[in-house]
């Protein structure tokens, strides 16, 4: 700009030396107006250039935010899919569980905490105000990105707490089951010892031992799962005891066994209900994560199909 100014002054000086008019103006008028016009032109050009530079810089900033957000959505795809698969598998494990023990869940960082920290005004400036496309559609898809990123961050923090609750309740039921089963074993053992010490036979107790021995013998690989124990020991014994108490309601041993088996049935039903509830919960979590990411992908595809406005329209 300064070089242009000097060249014009020099040109005007040369014009002045000829004694001719300058651009149709008298020498005195030209000496006043032309420098003023040049200064004004230089000033206006400076404003225009600064405006253009700011617009270009703003557009570059918006493009950077757009690329970061949309690329991040693509980058988290693998970890999101792994979490969906992990929750689905865990749900299946619970529905197929045979023992009262905590099943293992693998959970991953979904990596949305950093990108979710971008302020809302950055999203609005990038995807709504300064993007082509219908404003209403832009708002809808922008809200979808913000909402689903927030959901994924919340569910990432929520999964461990749900799993810990499952573990805690499973451990409580396991302790309850083991305590009741130890009591059952003690009742049977004490009855066996008492009958042996008195050289007595008891057909009811013999039937109890028969069922117990069959249960042990039929256990796969010598190890009985809780489900196998329930089907092959607790239920047959319950039927036997009910028949005994109908015929001999004063049988204290049968009554004690009945009470103990009732506690074991309650523990078993609590465990079944626990697994059903958490299986359904984690199945729903997997579906929700999958749907959330699908929404992110649809919003990503939409914003990839439109562009930022030209730099002179950037606000």
Is the per-residue pLDDT at 2 higher than 50?
no
Q: How many residues does the chain have?
A: 315
Q: Percent of the chain having pLDDT more than 70? A: 89
- CA-wise closest residue to 173 among 259, 97, 115: 97
When pLDDT is averaged across residues 13-26 and rounded to a whole number, the result is 53
pLDDT tens readout for residues 188-205: 999 999 998 887 888 999
Task: Kindly tell me if the per-residue pLDDT of 311 is higher than 80.
Answer: no
Handedness of CA 269, 274, 277, 279 (dihedral sign): negative
SS3 of residue 56 by DSSP: helix
Least confident of 1-10, 49-58, 109-118, 301-310: 1-10
Instruction: Tell me the CA end-to-end span of the chain in Å, nearest whole number.
Output: 27
Q: Is the pLDDT of residue 34 over 60?
A: yes
What number of other Cβ atoms are within 10 A of residue 75's Cβ? 11
Band of residue 5 on the pLDDT scale cut at 50, 70, 90: very low
The model's confidence at residue 57, banded by pLDDT at 50, 70 and 90, is confident
Q: How many angstroms separate the CA atoms of 99 and 184, rounded?
A: 18
Tokens of 219: 């256990």
Alpha helices in the chain (DSSP H): 2-17, 27-75, 77-95, 120-123, 135-197, 203-218, 226-229, 235-247, 252-305
Tell me what pLDDT residue 85 has: 96
Tokens 């708002």 correspond to what residue? 139
Sign of CA dihedral 218, 224, 230, 235: positive
Sign of CA dihedral 255, 260, 266, 268: negative
Distance CA 64, CA 62 (A): 5
Distance CA 44, CA 47 (A): 5
Residue 7: the pLDDT is: 44
Higher pLDDT, 149 or 21: 149
Residue with tokens 């562009």: 307
> Taking Cα atoms as reference points, which of 199, 177, 191 lies closest to residue 264?
177
Average pLDDT, the chain: 88
Can you give the pLDDT at residue 20? 56
| Distance separating alpha carbons of residues 87 and 11, to the nearest angstrom | 81
Q: What percent of the chain has pLDDT over 90?
A: 68
Instruction: Round to whole Å and give the CA distance between 201 and 192.
Output: 10
Mean pLDDT over residues 80-90, rounded?
A: 96
| pLDDT over threshold 70, residue 314 | yes
User: Which residues make Cβ contacts (< 8 Å) with residue 39, sequence separation at least 6?
Assistant: 5
**Given CA atoms 86, 91, 96, 100 in this order, what sign does their dihedral have?**
positive
What are 211-258's pLDDT values in tens digits?
999 999 998 877 889 999 999 999 999 999 999 999 999 999 999 999
Query: For 129-161, how does the pLDDT look when each residue is reduced to its tens digit (9 = 90+)?
Result: 999 989 999 999 999 999 999 999 999 999 999
């Amino acid at each position: 700009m300064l070089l242009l100014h000097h060249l014009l002054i020099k040109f005007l000086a040369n014009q002045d030396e000829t004694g001719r008019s300058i651009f149709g103006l008298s020498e005195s008028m030209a000496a006043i107006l032309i420098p003023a016009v040049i200064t004004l032109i230089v000033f206006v050009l400076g404003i225009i250039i600064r405006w253009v530079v700011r617009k270009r810089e703003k557009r570059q900033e918006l493009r950077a935010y757009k690329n970061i957000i949309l690329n991040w959505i693509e980058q988290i795809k693998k970890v999101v899919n792994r979490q969906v698969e992990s929750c689905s598998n865990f749900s299946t494990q619970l529905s197929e569980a045979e023992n009262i023990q905590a099943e293992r869940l693998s959970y991953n960082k979904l990596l949305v905490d950093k990108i979710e920290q971008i302020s809302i005004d950055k999203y609005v400036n990038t995807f709504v105000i300064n993007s082509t496309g219908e404003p209403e559609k832009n708002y809808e898809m922008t809200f979808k990105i913000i909402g689903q990123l927030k959901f994924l961050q919340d569910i990432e923090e929520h999964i461990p707490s749900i799993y810990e609750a499952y573990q805690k309740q499973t451990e409580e039921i396991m302790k309850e089951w083991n305590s009741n089963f130890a009591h059952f074993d003690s009742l049977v053992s004490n009855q066996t010892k008492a009958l042996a010490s008195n050289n007595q036979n008891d057909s009811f107790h013999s039937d109890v031992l028969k069922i117990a021995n069959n249960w042990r013998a039929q256990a796969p690989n010598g190890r009985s799962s809780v489900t196998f124990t329930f089907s092959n020991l607790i239920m047959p014994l319950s039927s036997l005891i009910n028949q005994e108490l109908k015929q001999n309601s004063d049988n204290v041993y049968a009554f004690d066994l009945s009470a103990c088996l009732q506690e074991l049935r309650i523990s078993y039903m609590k465990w079944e209900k626990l697994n059903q509830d958490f299986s359904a919960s984690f199945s729903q979590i997997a579906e929700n994560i999958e749907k959330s990411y699908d929404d992110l992908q649809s919003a990503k595809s939409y914003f990839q199909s439109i562009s930022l406005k030209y730099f002179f329209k950037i606000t």
